Amino acid sequence: MERDSPARPAQQHEHNLALIMRLVARTGAVSRAKLAHDSGLTKSTVTQLTGELVGGGLLREIGTGPARGPGRPANLLVLDSLGPVGIGLQVGVDHVAGYLTDLTGKIRDRALRRADDLRGDPLRVIKAAEPVLRRLINAANSTDNVVAGVAVGLPGRVRDATVVRSTVLGWSETNLPWLLGDRLDALGAGSIPVTVHNSHHLAAHAEQWFTGDNAEILVYVGGEPVLGAGILAGGQVRGGARGAAGELAHVRVSFGDLPCACGGVGCLDTVAGQQALSRASGVDMPSRSRLVGGDGPLPALLESGERRAVAAARRAAEGLGEVLGGLVPALDPDVIVLGGHFATLGAPFLERVRGELAQQCPELGADMRIRPSRLPPDVVARAAATTVTQHLIEDPAVRLAE
Ligand SMILES: [Zn+2]
């Protein structure tokens, strides 16, 4: 990889700091000699860079490794678990969930605030987030870890990691970092940078970071609270020119005939959306997130072969397969991960999606890897927290300059 080799003099220093951080993150406990070998940098440059990173609280020296040949055994370096940490929030209509993770990826604490309905005024979300933030900030303070950032995942279209438009939450052009930054200040946390991300985009990252799936191109399709997708290519989210990449809910399905909330007819959401699927199955389910309300009665109905539920799930799978069939030739993904309520619908649902996909694009669809997500329903919060620590690994110079 080009970024894993030394850079031109202009950005050399920053580049090399990041190179060392990535190598330590990848290798685990590692000696300076091995870092020099793996990076192609001289030993004295590595000594200088690691000195800065240790001084900045990003790397830490631990004991010694086995001596290779004559001479003193080498000190080993690891990512500093006592260094900066990240807070991630997951905002849904009925909850705010939070994670605190450190540079090594370890989960240090988590919190959940249930709510009846957070739609409407964004200050409702801010208010629900407050106890979650307070707990996580206290947890960080108790171990003297500095909170490097707060990242928020929510259903909506995000521009520049700041401005959010969310039909689910009823927000138009909301600058969440500005609102949340104010509240963090009021909590005495000082000025902590805040970023916002689409929850499906974070869920796609989660599949890569927390399952070890090293797919080059990964498509995550989630169902709650709104149907949508996150596309990863080379480890990076493809958000699109307007932050709208993956908005599949209102793609027209050929056999769809029901009116949609968007004003259209036969959108994928009217066939495969969580609400539509429940309604068509004859399940009168209040619209709760999986995190708060669990999987609901649908999985058991499908398991028992209940006629209406099976028919509704079949239509949902066909609709989803048809829309994905349009996407697959454009992206040629390694894997499609079905998350949200799709993950709970069982193997027959998965097989039907695969079958429809194979019909749509026989060449690519037939051996496409499709799997359900097995990550917990608050994983967007964990992924959000990881964006903060990941950023420290990818761009340590910013932290050292503070
Ligand atoms: Zn629609």
Q: Collapsing DSSP states into helix, strand and coil, what is residue 204?
A: helix
- The reply to whether 217 and 327 lie within a common domain is yes
Residue 367 CA to ligand 1 centre (angstroms): 30
Q: What is the mean pLDDT of residues 65-70?
A: 60
Is there a single domain that holds both residue 177 and residue 74? no
Residues 120 and 262 in one domain: no
From 45, 60, 79, give the residue that closes a domain.
Answer: 79
Domain count along the chain: 3
Contacts of 62 (CB under 8 A, 6+ apart): 29, 75, 76, 77, 78
pLDDT for residue 1 is more than 50: no
Shared-domain flag, residues 104 and 58 = no
Q: Domain for residue 346, yes or no?
A: yes
Confidence of residue 4 (pLDDT cuts 50, 70, 90): confident
Residue 70: band (very low, low, confident or very high) from pLDDT cuts 50, 70, 90: low
Q: 37, 64, 79: which is the final residue of a domain?
A: 79
Token pair of 103, please?
Answer: 């540079």
User: Is there a single domain that holds both residue 249 and residue 180?
Assistant: no
Residues 19 and 115 in one domain: no
Residue 152 lies in a domain: yes
Q: Would you say residue 207 lies in a domain?
A: no
Give the residue numbers spanning the domain of 298: 212-374
Which residues have their alpha-adjacent CB atom under 5 A from ion ligand 1? 250, 260, 262, 264, 267
* CATH code, 64: 1.10.10.10
Ramachandran category for residue 234: left, alpha or beta (phi over 0 → left; psi -120 to 50 → alpha): left
**What secondary structure does DSSP assign to 228-242, as a single string?**
EEEEEETTEE---TT
Domain-terminating residue out of 46, 79, 112: 79
Asked whether 18 and 397 are in contact (CB, 8 A), the reply is yes
Section 304-330 average pLDDT: 95
Kindly state the tokens that stand for 396. 């340590």
pLDDT at residue number 163: 86
CA dist 149 and 85 (Å) reads 8
Cα(168) to centroid(ligand 1), Å: 13
Judgement on whether residues 150 and 228 belong to the same structural domain of the protein: no
Position 271, amino acid: V
pTM of the model: 0.93
- Based on the fold, state whether residues 64 and 141 are members of the same structural domain: no
Ligand 1 centre from 268 Cα, in Å?
A: 7
Pair 241, 335 in one domain: yes
pLDDT of residue 10 exceeding 60: no
pLDDT tens-digit readout, 144-175: 999 999 999 999 999 888 888 999 999 999 99
Q: Helix count (H) and strand count (E) of the chain?
A: 15, 16
Same domain (yes/no): 95, 70:
no
Task: Name the pLDDT band for 286 (thresholds 50, 70, 90).
Answer: low
CA of 38 to the centre of ligand 1 (A): 51
- The Cα–Cα gap between 318 and 323 comes to 9
**Is cis: bond before 225, omega within 30 of 0?**
yes
In this predicted model, what pLDDT tens digit does every residue of 178-192 receive, in sequence order? 999 999 999 888 889
Based on the domain organization, do 164 and 178 belong to the same domain? Answer: yes
CATH number of the domain that residue 275 is part of: 3.30.420.40
Tens digit of each residue's pLDDT (9 = 90 or more) over 229-256: 999 999 899 988 888 889 999 999 999 9
Domain presence at residue 122:
yes
Q: Mind listing the pLDDT tens digit for each residue in 208-231? A: 999 988 899 999 999 888 899 999
Q: Which two tokens stand for residue 231?
A: 């596309």
User: Are both 143 and 61 inside the same structural domain?
Assistant: no
Angstrom distance (rounded) from CA 59 to CA 20: 10
Percent of the chain with pLDDT over 70: 95
Evaluate whether residue 194 is within a structural domain: yes
- pLDDT 10s digits, 357-370: 999 888 887 778 99
